[in-house]
Structure 1
Amino acid sequence: MNLKRTFGSILTVLGIIGLIYTAVSFIQHSGDTRTVITLGVLGVIFFFTGISLVRTTKDET
């Protein structure tokens, strides 16, 4: 199994978790505004980086 593809999948899942947590915090008005924005930005970065790693890594056997 390719290490880059695995790392990309982990980053994608972390990004999704961060985005969901940000959305729930935003809707419930819980937490500091800066914290919510920071988690949202990190979630977006992790998500798109993970997707990019998965898409650009070739399967070589």
Structure 2
Amino acid sequence: MESKKIIGVILVIAGIVGLCYGVFSLTGGEVGNGQAWGATILGGIFFLSGIGLMKSVGGGSTAE
């Protein structure tokens, strides 16, 4: 279970980086640039999949 949380965090961070890069590129006037759109779309996919993975694992910690 711990490895799923780590993968979820990595996906969320990668998604945030991709979204930031894509949005900053798009607002910088590169609307026709396919790379900016690709980074934005992939960032959104990574972000949402990371959030979904973290929700499915659960946030409660149990002390044994």
Structure number with greater Rg is 2
Q: In structure 2, the residue corresponding to 1:29 is in which secondary structure?
A: coil
The one-letter code of the counterpart of 1:26 is L
Q: 2:47 is matched by which residue type in structure 1?
A: F
What TM-score comes out, normalization by structure 1 length? Answer: 0.85
Q: Which moved more, 1:28-37 or 1:49-58?
A: 28-37
Identity %: 31
Aligned alpha-carbon RMSD (Å): 2.1
2:37 — aligned with what? 37
Aligned residues: 61
Task: Tell me the distance in 2 between the aligned counterparts of 1:32 and 1:16.
Answer: 22
Q: Distance in 2 between matches of 1:35 and 1:56?
A: 31
Q: Which has the higher contact order (CA 8 A, sep 6+)?
A: 1
Unaligned ranges ≥5, structure 1: none
